[in-house]
Amino acid sequence: MEQKNARDSRENSQARKEKNTRSYKHVQLERKRPQLTKGDDAQSTPSAKRGGAGGQSRPPRSRSQQGERRSADVPKKDPKATLKIIPLGGLDAIGKNMTAFECKGDMILDDAGLMFPDDDHPGIDLILPDYTYVLENAEKLRGIIITHGHEDHTGTLPYLLKDLDRQVPIYATKLTLGLIEGKLAEHKIKNAKLVEIKPGDQIKLGCFTAEFFAVNHSIPGAVGVFFQSPAGNVLHTGDFKLDQTPIDGVHTDFGALSKFSKIGVDLMMSDSTNAQNPNFTPSEAEVGKNLSKIISQAKGRVIIASFASHIHRMQQICDAAIANGRKVVVTGRSMIQNTDIARRLGYLKVSDTDIIDAYDLKGIPAEQVVIMCTGSQGEPLSALSRIANGEHRTISIEEGDTVIISATPVPGNEKAVTRVINSLAKIGADVYDKKRAMVHVSGHAGAEELKLVLSIVQPRSFMPVHGEATHLRAHAQLAEATGVASENIFICENGESLELTAKGVKRGETVQSGIVFVDGLSVGDTSQSVLDERNALGSQGFATVAAAVSKKRKDVVGDVRVEMHGITGGDDEYLQQDAAQTVCNALKRALSKETQTRELEKACKSALLSILWERTKQRPMVIVNVLDIP
């Protein structure tokens, strides 16, 4: 009886898993060209003017929420309680950040990001973390906290919200919510519950209390979170750096870090992106000085490519352009959309008279414009790539124009960026990148900054997050150097959980994790085997064999046809004839011994691969179709 119950339990568990991990087909995204908002709308807020993009409802703040900060009761400590910390993404790459916190039947999700594909993912649009564990425990989910508005922290939200069977509140700062609203509107998601928080606020989520504190990053509105639970306290820094001359005047809150240290930090999770950089990360203000100098010396038009979410960089570009008597032109879908959101929310200050759409550029002299565009990563369809290839509808580039690539290539994008730079150089453009001038600085803390924060917080245990394996290990070494005991430092992989109790932190059970591919409108349908086939097709080509046989007479009927695509020498008539004859001979030999179709196809494939390897040293994908004629 016990064995039967165990078997039934496993079958039910498997059924739930299959139900929760099935693929979902999503609606067509909204792809209308965004417009820059003009007039009074540029200064309005989402709640005042839009009522939430795409129909999202942002609940009104209660009287207790309208002050400078909200407070919540600190949970009482329970020596029997266990807090599970479950990273579902962000520990194998820089991207798709997602961590679940679970205690006494309550769960919080911290960030829900995505990652962009690299050369090993042909045809893939986006990569999401596998959030099956969240769906399986959806009844426990009390809220989703988003630390800032970058795609690697927000991009999975539309897919997750569609898969959840109930409304879950999303907590974030004003700009982050604005960017999320735009993203949900594209996916036609309505009635999402978006709740604005501010640094200093405390909110109650089940048995958790979450307190937010300001951090400086490459986007406004970034926060870290201090989680207090009956089992213990966890500090998540979010992405940060210690810029002492920030563009918006917002510093990383040292006072809050010191306060949390006094309360007691049982586990600290901290950004590891720049852990291998031995220095302090330079201030964003240094970029503005260099941009202004380059723009003042430029003769023709100036084109600047940067991340569309880098509002601080966009503000400095606008300031430098206006100071040099130039209009700001905005092009690229995400650049237009984020510029519009940032202006409406008051994070990007530029008047209507100084900013124009690319479609209104006609008649303005080249020396009177600065063009902000997407394409800093060399994306083939981005505005900068289309400009460089002469394919942009309204913007052309001429010899003597200045192009500034105000970003560092994400690992894997170096070749694409170099390709764009070479295209611009052939035209005669004067190209600036990070190698030539300080036109970009990172938004992540270097090693000295990380050590400073570790020294302030003095955590009992430490888990590096947000980075590749080398970054995590480097950050772990910094933690040990600042006094964290080596046995209390946990370098984890996605899905490997930690358990925090009154006795300390230890490793827990591993949960389902991994990645989910977004391929067009298909989510989760593309498997690794499909990608392997695509890579094989791209690198070796493919060949097809079509043959008719009579198993009864054990003979080949008619000619064997071989077609080759993407194979060196595949268009050679003699190679085609030899390949067809070789396959025909192999098929006849196989027919004399075997009549199973599978074995006949195997013989054809083996014969074709042998001759192609002998003649071309290639092993393409081979598709065989053997038709039996009575």
626/600 Cα distance (integer angstroms):
8
pLDDT band at 50 (very low <50, low <70, confident <90, very high): very low
Render pLDDT for 208-230 as a digit per residue (tens, 0 to 9): 999 999 999 999 999 999 999 99
Question: In the predicted model, is pLDDT for residue 42 greater than 70?
Answer: no
pLDDT band at 514 (very low <50, low <70, confident <90, very high): confident
Across residues 68-82, what is the average pLDDT? Answer: 83
Render pLDDT for 440-456 as a digit per residue (tens, 0 to 9): 999 999 999 999 999 99
Which pLDDT does position 620 carry in this prediction? 84
Which pLDDT does position 528 carry in this prediction? 65
The pair of structure tokens assigned to 59 is 């609940």
Render pLDDT for 300-314 as a digit per residue (tens, 0 to 9): 999 999 999 999 999
* For the ranges 59-63, 334-338, 477-481, 537-541, the one whose mean pLDDT is highest: 477-481
- At 79, the amino acid letter reads P
Q: How far is CA 470 from CA 108, 277, 450, in A?
A: 28, 12, 15
CA-based nearest residue to 20, from 100, 131, 127: 131
Q: How far is CA 461 from CA 98, 130, 155, 261, 498, in A?
A: 20, 26, 29, 12, 11
481/451 Cα distance (integer angstroms):
8
Which pLDDT does position 565 carry in this prediction? 82
Which pLDDT does position 318 carry in this prediction? 96
Which pLDDT does position 560 carry in this prediction? 87
The pair of structure tokens assigned to 74 is 């600190």
pTM (2 d.p.): 0.80
The pair of structure tokens assigned to 463 is 């888990």
Which has the minimum average pLDDT: 8-12, 295-299, 333-337, 534-538? Answer: 8-12
Which pLDDT does position 17 carry in this prediction? 43
How far is residue 615 CA from its own chain's centroid? 43
Question: In the predicted model, is pLDDT for residue 243 greater than 70?
Answer: yes
Q: 156 — phi, psi (to 5°)?
A: -85, -15
Render pLDDT for 469-507 as a digit per residue (tens, 0 to 9): 999 999 999 999 999 999 999 999 999 999 999 999 999
Which pLDDT does position 524 carry in this prediction? 52
Across residues 21-42, what is the average pLDDT? Answer: 51
Q: What percent of the chain has pLDDT over 90?
A: 59
* For the ranges 22-26, 41-45, 402-406, the one whose mean pLDDT is highest: 402-406
DSSP letter string, 224-276: EEEEE-SS-EEEE--S-B--SS-TTSPPP-HHHHHHHHHH--SEEEEE-TTTT
